[in-house]
Amino acid sequence: VAIIGAGSAGLSALQEVRKTTERFVIINDGPYGTTCARVACMPSKALIEVANAFQRRSVFGDMGIRGAESLRIDLPAALHRVRTLRDDFVSGILAYTDDLVERNIPGRARFLAPQLLAVGERRIAARKTIIATGSRPILPAEWRPYGNRMLTSDVLFEQENLPERLAVIGLGSTGLELAQALSRLGVEITGFESGRFIGGLSDPLVNECALHAISRDFPVHTGAQTEVAAEGDLIRVSAGRASVLVDRVLVSIGRRPNVDDLGLEQLGIELDEHGMPPFNPESMQVGDLPIFIAGDANGFRPLLHEALDEGRIAGYNAARDKVECFRRRTPLAITFSDPELVIVGERYAAVNDRDIVIGQTDFSRQSRARMAGNNRGCMRIYAARADGRLLGAEIAVPAGEHLGHLLSWAIQHRMTVFDVLKNPFYHPVIEEGLQTALKQVSKELGGKPAAELVLCHSSAAPGLS
């Protein structure tokens, strides 16, 4: 088995392959340590922790804690902490390939035929190949001449200090997280998003709540294409009627799967208009070839836990003669902004034309959130009208990551809103906000609320609702 890419998906595939065979090679171009640990999940969340800790000072006065005005952020020290943590995470990962000796091949792999790879001058005959080549940030060719004034997440965490003024172009998950964190660390941020939705949301109401909350941190311009022009050493960024002069631009307009230079045209399969090969997301098999594709490289669900699952599936199948299909987990995507944005199960865009019931909670009055001084945002859950089964939710609330997990587990187990409401809800907790939305759905579905406390012995009476 040949694995192309020693990122999260590739290493996960490697672990699975090694359960069956030691006849493998792993080929990696560029730095080891995975994108997630080096320049993505881990440094971004480390930065966000610092930014949010510093931001807490904004509620100190209201809480009777004095002296917040004199707190200051030491940016080089904060960035140093991010890199130190990052280096520690990366060093743990390097151990996976350290002892592989000649089975670990640094270099760029290309297909010459379905079972023949080239790495430089070297030829590798592989019965099965796993493509786990990840993705890279999109930087339009016309913006490249601006050089190091255009940043991407690949280089952001290497900065020793931060610019005074920064435009962030693209407010998907990555752009939003980084824009808000940098704004909270004192950078003058302006956010630009060509679409109307931020953080991957599709529910207009939740999007509105999110925009309202995020705009407290920095101005957000949506719905117009962004243009960029040099003005001396500075960059002018304009979209519609908005225009700002900044020192640097963070470009976060999406990521492109690293499949364009892989020689896929040698495989004898039809590629789509983006050059992507056909593949089965339950077996990861490419067409009916002895080739599997996992992680960001396939563009299906470009998230870490999905890359790990896909790597395992690809590894399992590549090490065996018979290709098996595996049930995928409930989709769960989190943006670590404040409020956190979560999309779980089916998105609003996928269910809004079906017969559904929607329950929603406005967190401006949520009691636990009020105590913390972060009572912002809202959430909406979607359930099937026919039987009350939970389908999905879009969330923009504090601690949304935890509500997202609870909901994803409920959806995974095909629970109805009535099933979920039978579970305990402590008081006072953020989860009570979820309970409110569930109760709304239950009420609308049941005519009167369904039983939450069920009678021990009798099925004749409904119990307590």
Peptide bond connecting 278 to the previous residue in cis, omega within 30 degrees of 0: no
H or E element: which one contains 8?
helix 8-17
DSSP letter at 276?
A: P
Which CB, 36 or 90, lies closer to ligand FAD?
A: 36
Q: Does 267 interact with ligand FAD (rule: CB under 6 A)? A: no
Closer of 308 and 415 to ligand FAD (Cβ): 308
Compute how many other C-beta atoms are within 10 angstroms of the C-beta atom of residue 310. 30
Residue 97 corresponds to which amino acid? T
Nearer Cβ to ligand FAD (309/346)? 309
Binder to ligand FAD among 8, 285, 337, 435 (CB under 6 A)? 8
Residue 108 lies near ligand FAD (rule: CB under 6 A): yes
Asked if 6 interacts with ligand FAD (CB under 6 A), we say: yes
Residue span binding ligand FAD (CB under 6 A) among the ranges 131-139, 217-225, 369-377, 425-433: 131-139
- CB burial string 368-393: b at 16+ within 10 A, e below: bbeeeebbbbbbbbbbbeeebbbbbb
What are the beta bridge partners of residue 242?
239
* Nearest distance in Å: CB 2, ligand FAD: 10
Q: Which is nearer to ligand FAD, 48 or 78 (CB)?
A: 48
| Nearer to ligand FAD (CB atom), residue 153 or residue 226 | 153
Measured from the CB atom, the residue of 87 and 387 that comes closer to ligand FAD is 87
Site string for ligand FAD, 14-43 (x = CB under 6 A): -------------xxxx---xxx---xx--
| Residue from 193, 217, 296, 309 in contact with ligand FAD (CB under 6 A) | 296
Please answer whether residues 129 and 117 qualify as being in contact, where contact means their C-beta atoms are separated by less than 8 angstroms. yes
Nearer to ligand FAD, 162 or 304 (CB): 304
Task: Enumerate the β-bridge partners of residue 390.
Answer: 383
Side chain identity at residue 71, one-letter code: L
- Give, as ranges, the residues between 139 and 168 that touch ligand FAD (CB under 6 A): 153
Q: Where are the alpha helices (DSSP H) in 333-424?
A: 348-351, 367-372, 400-412, 417-421
Q: How many CA atoms, within 13 angstroms, populate the side-chain half-sphere of residue 382?
A: 22
**Complete DSSP assignment for 319-352:** TSSSPP--PPPPPEEEE-SSSEEEEEES-HHHHT
Q: How many residues line the site for ligand FAD (CB under 6 A)? A: 35
- Nearer to ligand FAD (CB atom), residue 97 or residue 361: 97
Return the number of the residue (123 or 305) whose C-beta is nearest ligand FAD: 305
400 binds ligand FAD (CB under 6 A): no
Q: Which residue has the tokens 């995928």?
A: 328
Residue whose Cβ sits closest to ligand FAD: 7
Write the DSSP string, 117-181.
Answer: EEETTEEEE-SSEEE---EEE---GGGGGGGGGEE-HHHHTT-SS--SEEEEE--SHHHHHHHHH
**Looking at 1, 2, 3, 9, which residue binds ligand FAD (CB under 6 A)?**
9
Of positions 47, 307, 344, 411, contacts ligand FAD by CB under 6 A = 307
Structure tokens at 345: 């199960």
Residue among 253 and 437 whose Cβ is closer to ligand FAD: 253
**Residue 123 within binding range of ligand FAD, rule CB under 6 A:** no
Q: Would you say 218 or 418 has its CB closer to ligand FAD? A: 218
Task: Give the one residue of 213, 220, 262, 390 binding ligand FAD; rule: CB under 6 A.
Answer: 262
> What's the Cα-to-Cα distance from 256 to each of 5, 195, 297, rounded to whole Å?
15, 19, 8
Q: In degrees rounded to 5, what are phi and psi of residue 245?
A: -105, 125
Examine residue 7 and tell whether it contacts ligand FAD (CB under 6 A): yes
Told to check if 132 binds ligand FAD by CB under 6 A, we report yes
Per-residue binder mask for ligand FAD (CB under 6 A), 45-74, x = binder: x-----------------------------
Look up tokens 């799967």; give the residue.
Answer: 257
- 408 counts as binding ligand FAD under rule CB under 6 A: no
Q: What are phi and psi of 414, to 5 degrees?
A: 55, 40
Please report, as ranges, the residues that interact with ligand FAD according to CB under 6 A.
Answer: 4-10, 27-30, 34-36, 40-41, 44-45, 108-109, 132-134, 153, 174, 258, 262, 295-297, 302-305, 307
